[in-house]
Amino acid sequence: KFGINPLVSYTTRPMRDGEIDGVEHYFISKEEMKEMVDNEFESMIAYTQFPKTGHEYCALDPDPEGIKDGCLSYIINPEGIDWMQLNYKGNNKFFSVYVDCDEDTIRRRALNRGDGVKAIEDRLDSEREQFDKYKKSGKYNFLFDNNGEKYGESMERLIAAIKEFFQ
């Protein structure tokens, strides 16, 4: 609807029920991830590892020909954004969005997609400080309120901010 397609990343985490390899992520082994980090570092736009789970995520610089309307979305944690800002050497511009979502909503969504309670709490425990610190830092281009503001209104404000950024 908004013309922003996802950039499909690589991850070492197990595939969840209902996910399709190459749609949500490319699911790879830790060995394959190490090989990517070692051999494709120059084409990586982002990398992160979750300390509590050890799961790794990365994304490669997309082929400009495959980018519809010059815009892709990629979801990553604050450490991944920091990595991107320090290491990315390509020509693409990045507009970072902090999606503010309360923990009750995060829990409900995770349960609905089949995550276990322990896994959810472990993830929240491992990310809470990182996300709170990043929110306070203001190092993002846009704060998306996913707690009460109407989704459509938030998206309209976001699209307007993205258009202004890339002009």
pTM of the model: 0.78
Name which of 14, 6, 88 is nearest 46 in CA terms: 88
Name which of 141, 138, 146 is nearest 102 in CA terms: 146
DSSP code of residue 43: G
Which two three-digit tokens encode residue 128? Answer: 């809470």
Residue 151 has pLDDT above 80, yes or no: no
User: 12-48 pLDDT, tens per residue?
Assistant: 999 988 899 999 999 999 999 999 999 988 889 899 9
Q: Torsion angle, CA of 37/24/48/93, rounded to 10 degrees?
A: 90
